[in-house]
Chains A and B, each alone.
Chain A
Amino acid sequence: MASLDDLKKRISSVKSTQKITKAMKMVAAAKLKRAQESAEKGRPYSQKMNNVILNLSSGISDKDNAPKLLSGTGKEQIHLCVVMTSDRGLCGGFNANIIKKAKSYFLKIVSEGKELKIITVGSKGNDQLKRTFGDKIIENISFKNSKNASYFDAEKVGKSIIEKFEKEEFDICTIFYNQFKNVITQIPQSQQIIPLNVENDNQNNVVDSYEFEPDEDEILSNLLPKNISTQIFKAMLENSASEQGARMSAMDNATRNAGEMVDKLTIEYNRSRQAAITKELIEIISGAESL
């Protein structure tokens, strides 16, 4: 049995850990509110963008000459995967969930004999994927310095992806991110952004007739690169909200566990203190009796 002093030390150490996790939870909760707000505010833009593209692509007469970002290169040989994770740890299963989803997709691609290229966004994903897929990672982008997800950052990622596409370095691009559902649930998502899956989001079937100025093709070729940045930005916003949510619930759990541990240790401490007192009493009494 540990001595009284040791127990005391352990209790105080667990207590200070609990203070830290509690503080982290508070910080995450405050950040989550902001991240959630900006995720919600960012939705109209990507939705409208989607609508416009939907209208445009259905208006396109000549499918064969459609921009490559929409129709694809006609091959599916080289897959580019953009895995978006956080830059910081201590957020529960947040990063692990994305990595798991991404890895199973990677294995599928590799087993089909296709070529795989990976871009990681965020350092945690890079750290975890380095071990198994290190040779496949072609780029690692990290936004450690910028506090909030900004469109400027997303544009940088988008541009580098489009540049690679124009050099024909890949045929299909998929992004992996966590979709924010609520504080406890984040759903790892994979979304194909090149070529664009238009049929997928065909929810509002009312396609209006528009006048285009200039013509559809020109607008589309101008719009599609923007849409990629927008999709990446949306993923970044969802991701940052998810990260804070995951961290908040992870830290909440940690705080609760620390509390339980403190309770258990306190009971043990009191018990051994009582035992020591009893032992001393017995010694004194038996000493007095023997006189």
Chain B
Amino acid sequence: MSEEFKIEIVNPEKSFFSKDDVIETVIPAFEGEMGILKDHISIISFLKPGIITIRSKSSEEKFYVEDGIVEFKNNNLSVLTSSIYNLKELDKVMVQDLIKLAEEDASKSGISDQSKYLFDQKIEVLRNLN
């Protein structure tokens, strides 16, 4: 029996990415990284900034996300996100820009601890990319 399932990543503008023969996906869920294999229990969770890794037999793809929602049901994984970048297309300059933006947000006063944590997380992930 095949061990493959389907993934679809959509952002508000379009369907960003989809693949039929995914073996494993690692997502940065809110309470820690989560690996999803075929026949995972139905789950809804949301994402913190991090890297989505999608492995299929032939290839491995990585995406950087800032936020979003994941839904897994009947071997369909949908990721809804408003900010996603393919790591291949993300060059150093863009990463620097994103870090700068996140740092600005993090240094604002009056933000909640939770969003501060998210921004710090974002900066850390981005720094590790370089």
Contact = CB atoms under 8 A, between A and B. Distances in A.
Interface of A: 38, 41-42, 44-46, 48-49, 51-52, 55-56, 150-151, 154-155, 208-214, 219, 222-223, 226, 230, 233
B12 A230 contact: yes
B44 interface: yes
A210 to B, nearest CB: 5
Contacts of B82: 151, 155, 226
B104 interface: no
Contacts of B63: none
B12 A233 contact: yes
Contact of B71 (A46, A52, A151): A52
B80 interface: yes
A213 B31 contact: yes
Contact of A38 (B13, B29, B45): B13
B46 A219 contact: yes
Contacts of B45: 212-214, 219
A226 B82 CA distance: 9
Contacts, number: 72
Q: Which of A42, A45, A49, A51 has the most CB of B within 10 A?
A: A45
A210 B44 contact: yes
Contacts of A55: 44
Given A38-B14, A44-B10, A44-B15, A212 B43 contact: yes
B129 interface: no
A48 B80 contact: yes
Contacts of B31: 213-214
A48 B46 contact: no
A226 B12 CA distance: 11
Given A42-B12, A48-B80, A219-B69, 8 more contacts: A44-B10, A44-B15, A55-B44, A150-B13, A210-B42, A210-B73, A213-B44, A226-B69
Contacts of A42: 12-14
Nearest to A212: B44
B78 to A, nearest CB: 6
B41 interface: yes
Contacts of A212: 43-45
Contact of B69 (A52, A154, A155, A209): A52
Contact of A41 (B13, B29, B41): B13
Contacts of B80: 45, 48-49, 52
